[in-house]
Amino acid sequence: MDGNGRWAERRQRPRTLGHRAGVKAVQVCIEYCLAQGIEALTLFAFSSENWNRPQEEVGALMKLFLRMLDSEVDELHRRGVRVAFIGDRPGFPEAIRARMAVAETLTRGNTRLVLTIAASYGGRWDIAQACRQLATEAAAGAIDPATIDEAMLHSRLGLADLPEPDLFIRTGGDLRISNFLLWQLAYTELWFTETLWPDLDASVLDAALAAFADRERRFGLTSAQVAGSTE
């Protein structure tokens, strides 16, 4: 979700206003997934590196985060959305951590859409924490280091219980991953748009899905192999 700051700066308004405007685009995105039957949506809300922004902006984002947790979770639960968080939770104030836990517990049985919020998240952080878990288990004798494979690492990462992401969408015009789901994006289709996050609407998401439908996903195979396997 990129472009909130620029959206506000273009209006000669403080960057924090852009973050507030971005809330509507989050709602649009969730509604879109529910309407289209998309079963998993992962939003990159706040990166490991975003903590280094000016204190005032970080503070405003925390306030907004807290406010959204208070105002949105009940409605998401009613709509059948399971809410989950990935990222370095001890970095957050206790008030936010407590609400994250409440949201996850309340919505845990929902199956219509899994909404994962990546907050204080970095792809490198995720891989490092999974390695730390494996090392701890190996040191305790629970696993044999020689047996560690991709599936074992994967199962200790943030999105372990979801299918691999099909489509990555970045708004705001920059053509990079910026430490999002580094492991999980190995074969994900990437799609970029100049649209700033607060301007995101269903027509932008339609364009992303149309582009996705045109891609040939080969997963390292040849075109002929892929064509053969679908017959």
Shortest separation between residue 108's beta carbon and ligand IPE, angstroms: 26
Only segment of 2-10, 49-57, 116-124, 160-168 that touches Mg ion (CB under 5 A): 2-10
Q: How far is CA 72 from CA 12, 28, 139, in A?
A: 29, 13, 42
Q: Which of 36, 40, 99, 37 is nearest to 65 (CA)?
A: 99
DSSP class of 165: P
Q: Which does 122 bind (CB under 5 to 8 A by kind): ligand IPE, Mg ion, none?
A: none
Residue 67 corresponds to which tokens in the numbers above?
């406010």
Q: What is the DSSP string of 198-221?
A: GG--HHHHHHHHHHHHH----TTS
Q: Is 122 in the site for ligand IPE (CB under 6 A)?
A: no
149 is catalytic: no
Which tokens sit at 62?
Answer: 């925390």
The stretch near ligand IPE (CB under 6 A) out of 2-10, 31-39, 109-117, 157-165 is: 2-10
Could you tell which of Mg ion, ligand IPE, none binds residue 165, using a CB distance below 5 to 8 A set by kind?
A: none
Pick from 23, 24, 38, 50: which binds ligand IPE (CB under 6 A)? 50
6 binds, among Mg ion, ligand IPE, none (CB under 5 to 8 A by kind): ligand IPE
| Burial readout 209-223 (b: 16 or more C-beta within 10 A, e: otherwise) | bebeeeeeeeeeeee
Is 50 one of the catalytic residues?
A: yes
In this chain, which stretch among 1-9, 13-21, 85-93, 147-155 interacts with Mg ion, using CB under 5 A? 1-9
The burial of 105, by beta-carbon neighbours within 10 Å (0-12 exposed, 13-18 middle, 19 or more buried), is given as exposed
Is residue 72 within the footprint of Mg ion (CB under 5 A)? no
Q: Report which DSSP code applies to 142.
A: S
Verify binding: residue 204, ligand IPE, rule CB under 6 A: no
Smallest distance, Mg ion to C-beta of residue 198, A: 12
Q: Name the catalytic one among 50, 88, 110, 199.
A: 50
Minimal distance, residue 5 CB to ligand IPE, in Å: 3
Kindly state whether residue 20 participates in binding ligand IPE, applying the rule CB under 6 A: no
Return the DSSP state at 178.
Answer: T
Contact flag: residue 96 with ligand IPE (CB under 6 A): no
**Residue written as token pair 């925390």:** 62
Classify residue 92 as exposed, middle or buried by CB count within 10 Å of its CB (0-12, 13-18, 19+). Answer: buried
Which SS3 state, helix, strand or coil, does residue 84 take? strand
Q: Which does 126 bind (CB under 5 to 8 A by kind): ligand IPE, Mg ion, none?
A: none
7 binds Mg ion (CB under 5 A): no
Residues found near ligand IPE in the complex (CB under 6 A): 1-6, 46, 50, 61, 172, 197
Q: Which residues form the catalytic set?
A: 2, 50
